[in-house]
Amino acid sequence: MLCPVTQVEETKQMIKMLPVWAATFIPSTILAQVHTLFIKQGTVLDRSMGPHFEIPPACLTAFVTISMLISLAIYDRYFVPMARHYTKRPRGITLLQRMGIGFVLHVIVMITACLAERKRLSVAREHNIIGKNEVVPLSIFILLPQFVLMGVADNFVEVAKIEFFYDQSPEGMKSLGTSYFTSSLGIGNFLSSFILSTVSKITKKHGHKGWILDNLNLSHLDYYYAVLAILSFLNFLLYLVAANFFVYNVDVDSKSDLQGKKKEASLVEAHQDNENLKVG
């Protein structure tokens, strides 16, 4: 069945976003740690605030939302006008540049989480804490930097991601562009489970106790976080390649308009030359 040229061009526009879409899987995997291992770390830390109150570990995820909202306001109020002054772009920087900054922040998040876990394990060894449910005498707020940084990273990655896929989708396929955003989150969660189980199996070979155990005080989540930091960095390098070859639809239109104006100007100039020759 023959398709109209419009449908073919719209399909091409959706296909050319696939490399960028694939580059968002690992960042979505990093985001999945907030609701899984980050909270699990909190269960073995000192959560007391006063003699009669303990902070639920899952409450720390609120700091992701709070830091995201604060950083979003700062970004729109101060960063965009300042960047717009130099780049002359309405958004200050491009959506792909904004997403790339978030990917760098994800690497920093995992390095921060790795250092926090190393500190927790060192305190556990100092106090000879090896029980599964034993609490390490270290405040749960040692995890606060990784939650706050994740919120700042979301301001760059998640906001830019949904804007990019929606903005660069053709008018008749905006819903499909939005599905690129949601599907990357889903794939990231599945990928998180796959990476976790794979690392757990590999590290248990040859008689080793493994990095990922039910008992976090005997595990090595710091090693696992280091692996995620490396994966994030490698993914960022691949993303740079995909972003470098991507051509915005708006840019294409702008180039077409510019070529059209140049062609129109040349035609007008040629017409004037012909008139001058006739007059001569």
The whole-angstrom separation of Cα 9 and Cα 11 is 5
Helix H or strand E encompassing 221:
helix 221-245
For residue 46, give the 3-state DSSP assignment: strand
C-beta of residue 144 within 8 angstroms of C-beta of residue 46: no
Q: Would you state the pLDDT for residue 256?
A: 38
pLDDT score recorded for residue 260: 44
Closest alpha carbon to 60 in 30, 77, 85, 37: 37
Question: 92 — alpha (psi -120 to 50), left (phi > 0) or beta?
Answer: left
Nearest Cα neighbor of 101 from 163, 165, 27 is 27
Contact 47, 26 (CB under 8 A): no
E strand or H helix that includes residue 254: helix 249-279
Read off the pLDDT of residues 87-127 as tens digits, 9 standing for 90 and up: 888 888 888 999 999 999 999 999 999 999 999 999 988 88
Per-residue model confidence as pLDDT tens digits over 15-58:
888 999 999 999 999 999 999 899 988 888 988 877 778 888 88
Q: What H or E segment, with its residue span, contains residue 139?
A: strand 136-139
**What backbone torsions phi and psi does residue 209 show, to the nearest 5 degrees?**
-80, -15
